[in-house]
């Protein structure tokens, strides 16, 4: 049976439940995922004197072919994006600035250092998002940045974050879609602190200074990302969930929830509705923690499906900014992007192909038997047939055929590096 025939049959099955498949496809087309550039080069970046990755995060593996120049990284991203249906965004970090061989300290970075990225984004119809880089730097060697006891160090990072918001604003203006500028810091202690309050007070003051600078919200949105622990900050993280949740609420900033940054039995899917009741917008870093915040490639697992369901059933597609955050150097990096991003889109499609209103109603009526029965039955509805049709319609490879393109690219480009 052809893709079209399979699609027609599947469509009928969904239509029985009042799901308008054509509408679902139109909606899906307009959802942009923010694809993180750092999967392409193991969070290396292009600084003139690059420092080893620090900040308690880690990339393992040495699969050949990683991008070592901006041109290579953009080419690899283009390849991956050509295998992913829809129009998306690319998420940059400050270390991906292009300074023409000149050493430019991070607190001196300006929009001009990202001109090539913006030009490329325009050519490819992409939006851009941004992150200041507060790790892999001598001034972050103590494991403290915005909360550092030394004022000069704090000032350096404050200025870096202020400059970053302006770079975000520049992206938003140039590309006609607001950039999300997300602040994540590694600050914390390996061992039990004797004072938890003082570093948090300093972080609060630093953030106040960063956000005191006026940046146009039409072009740049500010987010803050919490964490529960990192390598070397096992006992205490300054920017904890409660810290940023309160900070964001009081100061009208976005909270960014990373799926690897909570206790193992705590899920982001269960937090989304609570966040949406109190904030207009919410940002996500969709990742896959395996035993710890390991940043594995996102797979179509129960939690990913549940996250997508929460966004869709709460009618929040335009309120949740979906970004990805994983880095695996043990497999082909273009494939990693493709697998993870296609899965995020698949999860959203799956969520739209569920009779969400009917299931809500059953719950309201206390009919938990039917709620469970239908939720389970829908797991084996022919959602793959709709996905295949969608890929075909969007002009990207259907099913696993994208793998052939990655293999060819590997032979022709990646292995020759």
Q: Quickly tell me which residue has 């080893």 as its tokens.
A: 52
Using the rule CB under 5 A, which residue among 42, 47, 169, 258 binds Zn ion? 258
By CB under 6 A, the residues from 70 to 129 that bind ligand RNT are none
- CA-to-CA distance for 62 and 371, rounded, in angstroms? 46
Site residues for ligand RNT, window 3-32 (CB under 6 A)?
none
Contact with Zn ion (CB under 5 A): which of 107, 222, 325, 388?
Answer: 325
Select the binding partner of residue 139 from Zn ion, ligand RNT, none (C-beta < 5 to 8 A, by kind): none
Element (H, E) at 153: helix 151-175
Full 3-state SS string of 273-341: HHHHHHCCCEEEEECEEECEEEEECCCCCHHHHHHHHHHHHCCCCCCEEEEECCCCCCCCHHHHHHHHH
Nearer CB in complex with ligand RNT: 263/416: 263
- Which among 222, 295, 303, 388 is annotated as catalytic? 295
Q: Which is the catalytic residue, given 66, 79, 285, 346? A: 285
Query: Least distance to ligand RNT from the beta carbon of 285, Å?
Result: 5
Residue 150, number of CB atoms within 10 A of its CB: 11
- Cα separation values, 298 from 71, 165, 347, 391, Å: 26, 28, 11, 19
Among 14, 120, 157, 184, binds ligand RNT (CB under 6 A): 184
Which regions of 213-296 does DSSP assign to beta strands (E)? 220-225, 236-237, 254-258, 282-286, 288-290, 292-296
Annotated active-site residue in 261, 271, 296, 305: 261
222 is a site residue for Zn ion (CB under 5 A): no
Q: Are 222 and 244 in contact (CB under 8 A)?
A: no
Is position 43 an interface residue for ligand RNT (rule: CB under 6 A)? Answer: yes
- Residue carrying the six token digits 């969070």: 43
Active site residue 325: yes
Residues in region 153-172 near ligand RNT by CB under 6 A = none
Nearer to ligand RNT, 268 or 359 (CB): 268
Residues within the interface to ligand RNT (CB under 6 A)? 38, 43, 57, 131, 184, 225, 227, 258, 285, 293, 325
* Catalytic residue set: 184, 225, 227, 258, 261, 285, 293, 295, 325
């Amino acid at each position: 049976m052809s893709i079209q025939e399979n699609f027609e049959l599947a469509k009928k099955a969904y239509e029985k439940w009042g799901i308008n498949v054509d509408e679902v496809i139109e909606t899906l087309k307009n959802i942009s995922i923010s694809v993180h550039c750092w999967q392409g080069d193991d969070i290396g970046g292009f600084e003139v004197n690059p420092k080893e990755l620090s900040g308690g995060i880690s990339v393992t593996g040495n699969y050949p072919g990683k991008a070592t120049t901006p041109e290579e990284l953009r080419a690899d991203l283009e390849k991956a994006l050509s295998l992913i249906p829809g129009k998306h965004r690319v998420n940059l970090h400050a270390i991906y600035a292009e300074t023409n061989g000149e050493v430019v300290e991070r607190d001196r970075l300006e929009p001009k250092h990202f001109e090539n990225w913006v030009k490329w984004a325009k050519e490819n119809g992409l939006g851009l998002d941004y992150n200041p880089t507060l790790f892999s730097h001598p001034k972050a060697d103590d494991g403290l940045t915005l909360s550092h006891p030394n004022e000069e160090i704090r000032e350096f990072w404050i200025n870096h974050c202020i400059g970053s918001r302006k770079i975000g604003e520049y992206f938003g203006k140039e590309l006609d879609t607001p950039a999300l500028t997300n602040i994540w810091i590694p600050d914390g202690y390996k061992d039990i602190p004797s004072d938890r309050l003082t570093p948090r007070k300093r972080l609060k003051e630093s953030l106040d200074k960063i956000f005191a600078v006026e940046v146009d919200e039409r072009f740049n949105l500010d987010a803050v990302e919490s964490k529960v622990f990192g390598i070397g900050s096992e006992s205490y993280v300054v920017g904890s969930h409660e810290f940023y949740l309160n900070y964001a609420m009081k100061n009208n900033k976005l909270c960014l929830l990373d799926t690897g940054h909570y206790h193992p039995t705590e899920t982001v899917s269960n937090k989304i509705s609570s966040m949406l009741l109190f904030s207009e917008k919410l940002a996500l870093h969709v990742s896959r923690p395996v035993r710890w915040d390991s940043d594995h490639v996102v797979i179509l697992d129960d939690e990913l499906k549940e996250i997508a369901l929460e966004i869709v059933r709460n009618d929040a597609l335009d309120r949740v900014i979906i970004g990805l955050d994983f880095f695996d150097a043990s497999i082909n990096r273009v494939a990693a992007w493709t697998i993870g991003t296609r899965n995020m889109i698949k999860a959203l499609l799956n969520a739209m192909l569920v009779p969400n209103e009917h299931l809500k109603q059953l719950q309201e009526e206390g009919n938990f038997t039917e709620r469970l029965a239908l939720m389970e039955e829908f797991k084996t509805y022919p959602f793959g047939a709709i996905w295949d049709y969608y890929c075909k319609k969007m002009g990207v490879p259907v099913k696993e055929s994208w793998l052939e393109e990655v293999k060819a690219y590997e032979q022709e480009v990646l292995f020759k590096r």
